[in-house]
């Protein structure tokens, strides 16, 4: 399943007052794995940012003056997000701005190009009612490092949100399974199997690669080594 984690920066908080999108950052997930196929663009809004917004993102009018306008990047954006499930923190804000930008160009809504929306703010409130659920708060809660985040940036925030989303929805946080263990009496034990009757099937190259990718994902999630990697490392070194 293809998912796109998306964030925007804008000149203000209300598109109906003439505020525009000035940065779009997207991170692609394929079957819950980061692919590196990201989308990032700065946009010239042909207007200044409001003071409050400028304090958040730091993208000045001068910096944006030589960047493309929205109509110059919209086709690349439409192609990139087509049919994907989009993951956004506080989705109504970003979707409101993107739908407005598409409307200005007489195009179908941004929402009509995608395969659905997951709002991580809604999901976080369901998981952690009564607690702070900003992106920074979720990074702290799930152990996602955001120490390099001095100002808001669309691509950086999308990358952080991707890590948070994967942690929020992982479901199983350890290699142990919380299932009831069935007690088997000695009389019910299977008879020993002769070694000659045991068939050994080595893992294929594709299966080994998939295994390594899964371990790498676990290591990334814990910002270090998962139990499996930590246990195997001394054996491999020996």
Percentage above 70 pLDDT, the chain? 76
Once rounded to an integer, what is the mean pLDDT over residues 215-236?
64
Q: Which sequence spans correspond to the domains of the chain?
A: 2-168, 206-238
Percentage above 90 pLDDT, the chain? 67
**Per-residue model confidence as pLDDT tens digits over 67-87:** 999 999 999 999 999 999 999
152 catalytic? Reply is yes
* Burial group, residue 35, by CB count within 10 angstroms (0-12, 13-18, 19+): exposed
More confident call, 225 vs 124? 124
Whether the CB-CB separation of 160 and 6 falls below 8 Å is answered with: no
Q: What is the pLDDT of residue 177?
A: 35
C-alpha–C-alpha distance, residues 25 and 197, integer Å: 56
**Per-residue model confidence as pLDDT tens digits over 21-61:** 999 999 999 999 999 999 999 999 999 999 999 999 999 99
Pick the CATH number of 2-168 from 3.20.20.100, 3.30.300.20, 2.60.40.3880, 3.30.420.10: 3.30.420.10
Once rounded to an integer, what is the mean pLDDT over residues 160-166?
96
**Per-residue model confidence as pLDDT tens digits over 124-140:** 999 999 999 999 999 99
Q: Please, which contacts does 150-154 make with residues 24 or more away whose CB atoms are closer than 8 Å?
A: 151/56, 151/57, 151/58, 152/9, 152/56, 152/57, 153/9, 153/23, 153/25, 153/57, 154/7, 154/8, 154/9, 154/23, 154/24, 154/25, 154/40
Q: Over 70: is that where the pLDDT of 160 sits?
A: yes
Q: Is 191 left (phi over 0), alpha (psi -120 to 50) or beta?
A: beta
Categorize the per-residue pLDDT at 214 as very low, low, confident or very high, splitting at 50, 70 and 90: confident
| Residue of 57, 89, 113, 152 marked catalytic | 152
């Amino acid at each position: 399943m293809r998912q796109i984690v998306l964030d925007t920066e804008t000149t203000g908080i209300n598109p109906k007052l003439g505020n525009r999108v000035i940065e779009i950052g997207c991170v692609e997930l394929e079957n819950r794995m980061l692919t590196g196929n990201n989308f990032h663009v700065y946009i010239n809004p042909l207007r200044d940012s409001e003071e409050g917004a400028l304090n958040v993102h730091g993208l000045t009018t001068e910096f944006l003056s030589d960047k493309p306008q929205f109509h110059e990047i919209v086709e690349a954006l439409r192609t990139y997000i087509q049919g994907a499930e989009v993951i956004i923190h506080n989705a109504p804000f970003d979707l409101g701005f993107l739908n407005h930008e598409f409307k200005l160009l007489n195009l179908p809504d941004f929402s009509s190009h995608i395969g659905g929306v997951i709002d991580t703010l809604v999901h976080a409130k369901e998981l952690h009612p009564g607690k702070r659920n900003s992106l920074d708060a979720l990074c702290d809660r799930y152990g996602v490092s955001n120490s390099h985040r001095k100002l808001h940036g669309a691509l950086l925030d999308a990358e952080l949100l991707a890590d948070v989303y994967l942690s929020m929805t992982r479901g199983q946080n350890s290699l142990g399974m919380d299932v009831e263990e069935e007690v088997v009496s000695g009389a019910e034990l299977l008879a020993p199997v002769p070694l000659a009757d045991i068939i050994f099937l080595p893992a294929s190259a594709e299966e080994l690669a998939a295994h390594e990718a899964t371990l790498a994902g676990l290591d990334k999630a814990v910002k270090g080594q998962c139990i499996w990697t930590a246990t195997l490392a001394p054996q491999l070194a020996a």
